[in-house]
Structure 1
Amino acid sequence: MNILIGMIFIALIGYIFEQRRHIKLLKQVNYNQETRNIMRKYEQYLLEHQIETYKFALDTLGYDRDEINKGNYTKHVPSPERLQALYEEFERKERIYRSKNIQFETELELRGVE
């Protein structure tokens, strides 16, 4: 009887240790997944910023994106007021981009990702 109780007790201790190991593994998997999600969001934001920069370049040079998609590559020189508005909008978006970039880099640095 004592042997049976001892075996059950040892089995329970083994089960508890296995569950603790499994919990640590799941925490590490969760941490890695969260880090991947942060990196994915960062890369997606970088791509969106790159697209916005290309759009700004086309607008500044005087090309209409909708017309380019249709195959019309005619250039229309934008007015100085339009150029000023484009530059102001680009500078505003650039400030937002820099702050988000710092935020992402800080978040990744806190997670230990280089």
Structure 2
Amino acid sequence: MKIVIMMVFLVLIGYLLEQRRHIKFLEKVNFNQETRHIMTDHEIFLLKHQIDTYVFSLETLGYSQESINKGDYTRNEPSPEKLQKILEEFQRNQSIYRSKNIQFVTELELRGVD
């Protein structure tokens, strides 16, 4: 009887140790998935920023993205006021981009990703 109780006790200890190992594994997988989501979100933000930069370039040169999408490649010289407005908006977006980039780098450093 004592042998049966001892075997059941050892099996329970083994089961608990295996569950603990499995929990650590799942926590590591979850951490990696969260890191991957953070990196994916940042890549999407970078692509949107790159598209916005191209749109600002087109507008500075006097082209309209909507017109180009419709097949109209005529150039309209932008007024100095419009150029100033484009520059201010571009600088504001650059500031947002820099702060998001710093936030991303800091978040990766806190996670221990090089």
TM-score (norm 2): 0.98
Match of 1:22 in 2: 22
Aligned to 2:51: 51
CA distance in 2, matches of 1:85, 1:66: 18
Matched, 1:42 2:47: no
Corresponding residue pairs, total: 114
Moved beyond 4 Å, runs of 4+: none
Query: What is the CA distance between 1:111 and its match in structure 2?
Result: 1.1
Aligned ranges for residues 54-73 of structure 1 at < 5 Å?
54-73=54-73
Identical positions, percent: 64
**Other-structure match for 2:92:** 92
Give the alignment of 1:73-84 within 5 angstroms.
Answer: 73-84=73-84
What whole-Å deviation, never above 9, does each CA across 1:9-63 have from its counterpart, x for those lacking one?
Answer: 0000000000000010010001001100110011111111101100100111110
Distance 1:29 1:21 in 2: 13
The residue that corresponds to 1:11 in the other structure is: 11
CA RMSD of aligned residues (A): 0.6
- Write the distance in 1 (CA, Å) between the matches of 2:35 and 2:25: 15
Where structure 2 has 5 or more consecutive residues not aligned to the other structure, the ranges are none
Secondary structure of the equivalent of 2:77? coil
Bigger relative contact order (CA 8 A; separation at least 6): 1
Which amino acid is 2:57 matched to?
A
- Tell me which amino acid in the other structure corresponds to 1:85: K
Per the TM alignment, residue 103 of structure 1 is displaced from its structure 2 partner at its CA by 0.3
Partner letter of residue 20 of structure 2? R
Q: Measure how far apart 1:71 and its partner are.
A: 1.1
User: What are structure 1's unaligned runs of at least 5 residues?
Assistant: none
